């Protein structure tokens, strides 16, 4: 089954005093275009995270986010008593030296001084915590892959529908193709009759008519287009990672349809070719989203 490059996955891990959130989104891209936003504690694992994502997703414009929400109890600021006491000693010494009295609300002033409040302590990433976070990353990636598979299944149904439509339109050309040859022969014969008593080599005329009709023959184009349609279906069934290949096959289908259109000198056939081009254009638009 093919996969779409569009996807979304999210997972949450509950740790002591905090929750870790992992979110990953992807859109279509010719190659893997990965951008990351990682909480400071886990940045040392960025290369490992990138390798995990690259292995699982292969292609796409991917946005990865890993952030932390701490419980309120763990984010309460603590007073750095040593720093506040040192500031107070300096203010008292300055007051004694200058004769300026110490303000009554000196404590509120001291608490606004640098390093007077300590809201965080230095954290160190443990193996146990990283093991939990790593599994959470894997879970988010798995959700995204599931999303991609669902989108891929919808694309596969759409592709099969469009390929079937092109095939049906190709078959609908045949009646007009047969009558077209007869019309060409009749038009040439009528033109010769209008010339009156003009002598001509009937054998040479027949050769020229055959040559002219062969130039307008589209049997080869029809056969090649049929082969391309079947190959497109086979590639769809072959599994993921076929987006570029499907794009190349669609280009070849377009060449055969265009050649058929250039050889179709009948309005009904040209109308059918236009419809085939419309179906193919929808395939080309969607194939860009296949991984």
Q: What is the mean pLDDT of residues 96-114?
A: 84
Say which CATH number the domain at 26 has.
3.30.230
**13 and 136, same domain (yes or no):** yes
Is 2 domain-assigned? no
Per residue in 188-228, pLDDT (tens digit) is 767 767 766 666 666 766 666 666 666 778 888 999 999 99
**103 and 48, same domain (yes or no):** no
Residue matched to tokens 């469009």: 162
pLDDT at 70: 83
237: tokens are 């069934």
The number of distinct structural domains making up the chain is 3
pLDDT at 133: 96
Q: What percent of the chain has pLDDT over 90?
A: 53
| Listed residues 65, 99, 118: the one ending a domain | 118
**167 and 274, same domain (yes or no):** yes
**40 and 129, same domain (yes or no):** yes
pLDDT at 26: 96
Would you give the distance in Å from CA 264 to the centre of its chain? Answer: 37
Q: What is the mean pLDDT of residues 17-44?
A: 93
Domain range holding 12? 7-74+125-148
Per residue in 117-155, pLDDT (tens digit) is 765 556 788 999 999 999 999 999 999 999 999 999 999
Is 87 domain-assigned? yes
**205 and 249, same domain (yes or no):** yes
**190 and 247, same domain (yes or no):** yes
């Amino acid at each position: 089954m093919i996969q779409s490059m569009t996807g979304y996955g999210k997972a949450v891990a509950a740790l002591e005093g905090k929750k870790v959130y992992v979110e990953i989104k992807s859109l279509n891209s010719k190659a893997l275009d990965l951008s990351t936003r990682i909480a400071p504690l886990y940045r040392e694992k960025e290369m490992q995270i990138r390798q995990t994502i690259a292995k699982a997703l292969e292609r796409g414009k991917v946005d990865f986010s890993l952030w932390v929400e701490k419980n309120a109890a763990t984010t309460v600021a603590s007073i750095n008593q040593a720093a506040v006491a040192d500031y107070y000693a300096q203010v008292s010494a300055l007051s004694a030296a200058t004769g300026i009295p110490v303000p009554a609300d000196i404590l509120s002033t001291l608490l606004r001084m640098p390093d007077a409040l300590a809201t965080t302590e230095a954290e160190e990433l443990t193996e146990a915590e990283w093991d939990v976070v790593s599994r959470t990353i894997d879970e988010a990636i798995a959700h995204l892959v599931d999303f991609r598979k669902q989108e891929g299944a919808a694309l596969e149904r759409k592709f099969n529908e469009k390929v079937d439509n092109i095939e049906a339109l190709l078959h609908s050309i045949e009646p007009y193709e047969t009558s077209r040859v007869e019309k060409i022969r009749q038009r040439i014969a009528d033109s010769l009759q209008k010339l009156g008593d003009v002598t001509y080599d009937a054998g040479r005329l027949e050769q020229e008519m055959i040559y002219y009709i062969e130039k307008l023959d589209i049997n080869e184009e029809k056969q090649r287009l049929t082969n391309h349609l079947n190959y497109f279906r086979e590639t769809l069934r072959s599994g993921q990672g076929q987006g570029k290949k499907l794009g190349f096959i669609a280009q070849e289908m377009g060449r055969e349809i265009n050649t058929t259109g250039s050889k179709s000198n009948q309005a009904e056939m040209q109308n059918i070719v236009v419809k085939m081009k419309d179906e193919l254009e929808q395939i080309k638009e969607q194939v860009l989203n296949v991984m």
